[in-house]
Amino acid sequence: MRLEIGNIIIKDIQFGDKTEIKDGTLFVNKQEIIDLVLEDEHIKCADVFLARPGESVRITPVKDVVEPRVKVEGPGGVFPGVLSKVDIVGSGKTHVLKGCAVMTTGKIVGFQEGIVDMTGPGAQYTPFSKTLNIVLKADPIDGLKQHEHEKALRYAGFKTAAYLAEAGRNLEPDETEVYETLPFMEGAEKFKGLPRVAYVQMLQSQGLLHDTYVYGVDAKQIVPTILYPTELFDGAIISGNCVSSCDKNPTYVHMNNEVVKNLYKVHGKDINFVGMIITNENVYLADKERSSNWTAKLCRMLDLDGVIVSQEGFGNPDTDLIMNCKKIEKQGVKTVIITDEYAGRDGASQSLADADPLADAVVTGGNANQVIDLPPMDTVIGDTQYVDIIAGGFDGSLREDGSIEVEIQAITGATNETGFNYLTARGK
């Protein structure tokens, strides 16, 4: 499967009478977005704000981040099974408004939502301080249940991103990236002699408000399966969860998965990147055993030499991570796991809830319990009243002067487990 990504580089964002791109600036018709979002009867009110890198702006509570993309050639459309019909995506041509993002905020859905500072020490921990952000603030109608609130906000973000992406449909991209994965036997023949490597992505699926969707289907309802990695770039996997913001995968991260991109960089040179396996993270032991058994089975069926396994979240999913690792290793497949750590504020506690001697190759995204002081910002988009109760916050986190003391667990993307962050550690 071959996909061309045409990047239209966005250098600035401004409000304007018409949504369009001129000389690298994305002009946004604010009212058209508000009208689009208010088509959903579950949304009571909405507004749109702009936040640029370096500005004294705090955005919280952050729910999801989405990159504007539009399918310009090939089957299906972006966000299949959600906004587009259920065609297999990941081939043809897709245009991307690179450098900007749609961010959703408003009344809190679940307590594990995050903070994005566009400047200051907090900005050093989140990749979304570097994007030009179109921030959608939308509040639900009174009495709406949490899962319905989450869905309404999720769809509002997707619809806004799709609306903005249309401005780039007929433009010539500033740069083009090409990604291609051949069918298994063709790839084995073409790249004979290279190690066969795959990516196992664990999807958050631990229960209500801990949801990830694959072609519109809740990942709790799937068994492990194989995807072409390019399917991710068209939004085949989207976020719907409220796990801790430091290590959740917003939809933007799925669409720009760093593991996939880096494996493609060495594909056909150092390795044969044969594809990816998706699996879920379960609550009950029997479900964990089923999914990890299937994942290991698929690794053996693909005759792999090595895999990279990433998880999403921490604690309970650590068990799924270690199960996957040791069962894949026992199939004779070398395994590297990507995780983050909850080692206590002093870094002295056990980092993971589970461990095994076979998990001896580990990449870490950092310690989420590290404490940081965030200075007050001139502008707050959203509402800081929730800071004390989001994961990583505590009673007294929000000070009277607007400054915040929190664990970096509260910062969106701070310890992301696909490598879309700035922290790691090196062992000796």
Closest C-alpha to 417, from 298, 309, 315: 309
How far is residue 144's CA from residue 44's CA, in Å, rounded to a whole number? Answer: 10
What single letter denotes the amino acid at residue 76?
G
- Which residues, 6+ apart, have CB-to-CB distance to 57 below 8 Å? 51, 117, 118, 119, 377, 378, 379, 380, 381
Is residue 43 within 8 A of residue 139, CB to CB? The reply is yes
Pairing, β 210-214 against β 237-241: antiparallel
Residue 11: both structure tokens together: 């250098």
How far is residue 3's CA from residue 75's CA, in Å, rounded to a whole number? Answer: 11
- DSSP code at position 214: E
What is the residue-wise DSSP string for 398-424? B-TTS-EEEEGGGBTTTT-TTS-SS--
Closest C-alpha to 421, from 347, 364, 359, 337: 364
Determine the angle formed by the axes of helices 146-165 and 30-37, rounding to 10 degrees.
140
- Which residues, 6+ apart, have CB-to-CB distance to 169 below 8 Å? 70, 72, 95
Is residue 96 within 8 A of residue 164, CB to CB? The reply is no
Catalytic site residue 246? no
- Which residues, 6+ apart, have CB-to-CB distance to 159 below 8 Å? 36, 37, 83
- If phi > 0 it is left, if psi is from -120 to 50 it is alpha, else beta; for residue 230 that is alpha
Is residue 91 within 8 A of residue 234, CB to CB? The reply is no
Identify the active-site residue in 242, 246, 299, 325.
Answer: 242
Pairing, β 57-62 against β 379-382: parallel
Residues 418, 419, 423, 427, Cα dihedral to 10°: 90
List the catalytic residues. 242
